Amino acid sequence: MSSKQWIAGINAVAAAVEHDAEHVREVLIEAGSKNPRLAEIEASARRRDIDVRRVAAQALDGVAGGLRHQGVVARYAAARTWGEHELAERVEAAAGRALLLVLDGVQDPHNLGACLRSAAAAGATAVVIPKDKAVQVNATVRKTSAGAADSVPVIAVTNLARALRELQKLGVWLYGLAGEAEDSFYSLDLRGNVAVVLGGESDGLRRLTRENCDKLVRIPMPGAGGSGVESLNVSVAAGVTLFEAVRQRGAG
């Protein structure tokens, strides 16, 4: 992520102001807008001593970079970043109930943002992504995630296979999703330390990632045969698997 950037949209700006105010440098709000959500963001920003300016809509269009700004943008310094060493700390702090989402090479920022929304809603311990050959948390991801990028730790690792092996040493079971796998995801016990490992949009799980999973499983799709649908979108698969873990853990 660049050291400074603009984020746009009501949910993205509101989440940044609420969860990461120290990195919000200023908030620009459309002059003359009567939207009560914008008034709430302005009040929240001012309470946190963040500069707020009312500007013309054209000015917002210019800095939003093509994103739909809904009347508000914020100039944002680099977000909270999580180091690889913090992954072990997060797992240990979960006291035997860690729930991790590992994404192996997701390229579409909208997919990553949607995965982060599901992870945050499920109370995931962290989301793990590779630093190379995968989309990172950028402005589009932040907007698509509707604030989840600020509330769930996203840990980018240099070597994903090595990170998976380290997770195994910490007692985390790694379950990779593969369409050709024989066993159903619903046959798993997901109540302990668990990581759901999903592949990218085009190639799925890479060979080394597969080899480091404890088990490969599939999401049953009874209607797939006649519909021409061979696999689920990665963000849909993330939601399905994470919330099966939530169901088994009795969270409510």
Say whether 192 counts as a known binding-site residue: no
Tell me which H or E stretch contains 170: none
Say whether 129 counts as a known binding-site residue: no
User: How far apart are alpha carbons 158 and 155 in whole angstroms?
Assistant: 10
Say whether 199 counts as a known binding-site residue: yes
Give the orientation angle of helix 36-47 with respect to helix 10-19, to 10 degrees. Answer: 20
**Which pair of structure tokens corresponds to residue 114?**
């949607």
Within the chain, what is the greatest distance between any pair of CA atoms? 59
User: How far apart are alpha carbons 110 and 145 in whole angstroms?
Assistant: 8
DSSP per-residue codes, 52-111 = EEEE-HHHHHHHHTTS--TTEEEEEEPPP-B-THHHHHHHHHTTT--EEEEEES---HHH
Q: Which residues are annotated as a binding site?
A: 199, 219, 232
Q: Which residues are annotated as a binding site for S-adenosyl-L-methionine?
A: 199, 219, 232
